[in-house]
Chain A
Amino acid sequence: MKTILQVEDDPNDVFFLQKAFKKAGVQNPVQVATDGQEAIDYLQGADKFADREQFPFPCLVLLDLKLPYVMGLEVLTWIRKTSGLAVPIIMLTASAEEADITAAYRLGANAFLCKPSEASKLQEMVKAIKDFWLTHNTCSREALSESPMEGVVSLGYSTTTDFGPKPPAVNGVRRHELADAAEAIR
């Protein structure tokens, strides 16, 4: 069973999703990165995530937008532009702001889902994820390989973006930067 990577800083949401997965009979192991930098580290297999046995490369990333240190859209940018990884990414976030939706798709997200407030709706959504992304959807072989980072062909994207430690972004929304990034892409 391939691993799912959930990038989510809210333990409640982590709990709800895992509960819903369980309820829906999703067998795939779910790894959680609680901030953007951790997600990048995980995908890179860096530091504590170096052991791919323990931390396999995911077949699906569920990515929240509002994350500490490195925001969801920046993680997305890193995955698609910097690394050129072909892993499917589903944005899973609290609110659907038009600017976020557009930016996410432009940056290469595969789906955009809003976290429902009701347990029943969350259950429906998780079932849909299971049916589509985990059942019908076909992933690229690259995403399924054990260490895709080694096989990544450089797409010639700039790798100058420094995703090193950022000042704590507790409530420090950097939406403008994201909007700017989205604008630059446009």
Chain B
Amino acid sequence: MKPVVLGILKQKIKPMKKKTGVRTSRKSFDAGHRIRAPETRLVTNGGSSTLSGRRMRNGKRARKAIPDDHARRLAAARGLIDTPAGFPPVTRSDRELEHAWTYAHAIIEAAPPLLVLDRSLRVQTANESFCKCFRISLRETLNHRVYELGNGQWNIPKLRTLLEEVLPRKSFFKDFEVTHEFESIGSRTMLLSGRQVDNLQRILLVIEDITERREAQVGTRASEIRYRRLFEAARDGILILDPDTRKITDANPFMTELLGYPRKELVGRELWEIGLLKDEQASRAAFRELQKKLFIRYEDLPLQSKTGRHHEVEFVSNLYEEDGRKVIQCNIRDITERKRVEQALLTAKNEISQHASELEKVVAERTRELRETIGELEGFSYSVSHDMRAPLRAMQTFASYLVEEYGGKLDEQGIGYLEQIMRSSVRLDRLIQDVLSYTRIIHSQLPMEAVDLDRLIRDIVESYPRGHPAEPEVQLLGTLPKVTGNEALLAQCVSNLLSNATKFVSPGTRPHVEISADAVEDQWIRICFKDNGIGIAPENHDRIFRLFERIHPATKYEGTGIGLTIVRKATERMGARVGFESEMGQGSNFWIQLKKG
């Protein structure tokens, strides 16, 4: 066999260094020559190789002897071996040959992934680039049929066609693009080039991996398309200008639509010519500013379209570089509608604020009227308490004088009539006072504060008249807590509830009231007034809080029918609640529920 020129690969002759873990082959010639094989990355296969083609590991010696004369001469030419006796000296052509090999080897190493195949398509040579690119080791490559490589991953139909059909006919093919899914490295796009080297009975197969390049191309094209679409579809006018000539080089469809000029009429014009800037001078000034700041913005620019329609536009211009070339991009936004809406909004706002101020006036007027009414009502109450009660007081007092001073002159019936007058006037007086306190509760300003319920209730209980035959027994369970309320209102409530609790008892029963406080939920205190009274029939439960509503005739239990109404109104005004549980004959449990103090 002839030596395979291309099989002689990059060889560096240098002192052998011990390199572990590096994929190197060390070759040495047999027969005890002190040859240090050069580091070889690309290895040829085949016993006929001049330098041993067997890839060696760990510095094993190549088993094969150098077969021919030629190789010896070469080796000698490289100074690798001593020229033993009987060998002809190294000739000039040997040296040239050696140079050619080195050169060829360098080319191969620098080349894209490359395989050298023999006629049966077995790999004779594979460069490092191939191994690296397709992640395959030399051992798995050399002397294997190309289709078998990487577990048959290279059994690519198109490659088959090229190697088996195209090459025999044409002796070469070039840049056939093949995309193939590799198990190990995924989808790759390759450019396949092959050449039959007839005299060597070899096929050179160059496989250029262009996957990244293709992807980049696709990406670039996609982004170009995307940006073009943005340009075309934008609802802003976009103009591209040449900074040197200040002329329009491109305009998007929206811009042409906005201005009413076809694109070809816009291209080549300057901004001031299409009415975007006032005149050439303004245009130059704007460009100078743009050159300086790289950015200009005009909020409100009047713009007239070709048809004379007026627009308000927002104009933003940027100067930037595109592949080393300066470009100006202008974005023109039609804000006519926005301006219109803003104006409408402003008008609406003004109208609203005008309405609001009118409303405020009305409210102030109404408030004043209301205050007046309340004032009148208060005045009325004041009048009632002073003027209406005065004659009543006179009636009462005169009646009592009558009884005192002229009682002897009257018979029992006469005295009875007088007593009736006195009782009625007392009742009317109490009624007036209750109505007054009710209206006072409704209208007065009531500061809310922490009220010491314990002290308040004890004070009220203490002030009860003593020595009465049926003196009520009032019992406070524990110390009552502080609550939030108005002391005057609370006193009124407690007083009214106590009065009811002790009043409505069956004849002969000593009234007994138990006052206790419970925490309800987190922030409420419920104060209960549990009595031993006559109780309230279910059908009357709804009536008892109503104004002037009385369940019992006045002859049986005296009262005005306002007491509980006052309690309800007072608790309402304190943000508190009032309620009760009661059964006929079982007594009642009235409660008021206030916030903790």
Contact = CB atoms under 8 A, between A and B. Distances in A.
A22 interface: no
Interface in A68-123: 93-95, 97-98, 115-120, 122
A171 B404 contact: no
B535 to A, nearest CB: 33
A117 B397 contact: yes
B560 interface: no
B383 interface: yes
Interface string B358-400: 0000000000000000010011001101110111111011101
A177 B446 CA distance: 21
Chain A residues touching B, range: 20 to 34
A115 B387 CA distance: 13
A66 B384 CA distance: 12
A106 B392 CA distance: 30
Contacts of B436: 95
A97 B382 contact: yes
A95 to B, nearest CB: 4
B425 A173 contact: no
Contact of B389 (A16, A94, A118, A120): A94
Contact of B386 (A12, A93, A117, A118): A93
Interface in B247-283: none
Given A171-B387, A173-B382, A120 B400 contact: yes
A51 interface: no
A59 to B, nearest CB: 26
Given A95-B386, A171-B387, A117 B393 contact: yes
B386 A119 contact: no
A170 to B, nearest CB: 10
Contact of A94 (B390, B396, B404, B426): B390
A146 interface: no
A124 interface: no
B393 A173 contact: no
Contact of A119 (B378, B401, B426): B401
Interface in A3-49: 10, 12-13, 16, 19
A12 B393 CA distance: 9
Nearest to A13: B390
B429 interface: yes
Contacts of A65: 386
Contacts of A122: 397
A175 interface: yes
A136 interface: no
A171 B382 CA distance: 10
B385 A12 contact: no
A94 B393 contact: yes
A186 interface: no
A19 B402 CA distance: 13
Contact of A66 (B386, B391, B394, B433): B386
A166 interface: no
Given A16-B397, A95-B389, A95-B436, A117 B426 contact: yes
Contacts of A16: 394, 397
B438 to A, nearest CB: 14
A115 B382 contact: no
A98 B389 CA distance: 18
Given A93-B386, A94-B385, A94-B390, A118 B379 contact: no
Contacts of B392: 117
Interface in B390-438: 390-394, 396-398, 400-401, 404, 425-426, 429, 433, 436
A185 to B, nearest CB: 18
B489 to A, nearest CB: 12
Nearest to A66: B386
Contacts of B396: 117-119
Given A117-B429, A119-B400, A119-B404, A175 B389 contact: no
Interface string B579-591: 0000000000000
Contacts of A95: 385-386, 389, 433, 436
Nearest to B380: A173
A66 B401 CA distance: 25
Interface in A151-186: 171, 173, 175-176
B382 to A, nearest CB: 5
Q: Which of A16, A94, A98 has the most CB of B within 10 A?
A: A94
Nearest to A98: B488
A178 to B, nearest CB: 10
Contacts of A176: 375, 379
A54 B385 CA distance: 35
Contacts of B433: 95
Contacts of A97: 382, 385
Interface string A111-141: 0000111111010000000000000000000
A127 to B, nearest CB: 16
B397 to A, nearest CB: 5
B378 A117 contact: no
Nearest to B385: A95
A119 B397 contact: yes
Contacts of B425: 117
A115 B385 contact: no
Contacts of A66: 382, 386-387
A10 B398 CA distance: 14
A175 B392 CA distance: 22
A10 B397 contact: no
Contact of B379 (A93, A94, A175): A175
Nearest to B391: A12
Contacts of B401: 19, 119
Nearest to B384: A95
Contact of A12 (B378, B390, B400, B429): B390
A117 B430 CA distance: 11
Contacts of B429: 117
Given A117-B425, A118-B400, A122-B397, A175 B390 contact: no
A115 B390 CA distance: 9
Contacts of B400: 118-120
Given A12-B393, A117-B389, 5 more contacts: A12-B398, A97-B382, A115-B393, A118-B400, A173-B382
10 contacts: A10-B394, A12-B390, A19-B401, A65-B386, A117-B425, A118-B400, A120-B400, A171-B387, A173-B382, A175-B379
Interface of B: 375, 378-379, 382-383, 385-387, 389-394, 396-398, 400-401, 404, 425-426, 429, 433, 436, 488
Interface of A: 10, 12-13, 16, 19, 65-66, 93-95, 97-98, 115-120, 122, 171, 173, 175-176
The 8 closest A-B pairs by CB, nearest first: A95-B385, A119-B400, A12-B394, A173-B379, A66-B386, A94-B386, A119-B397, A117-B393
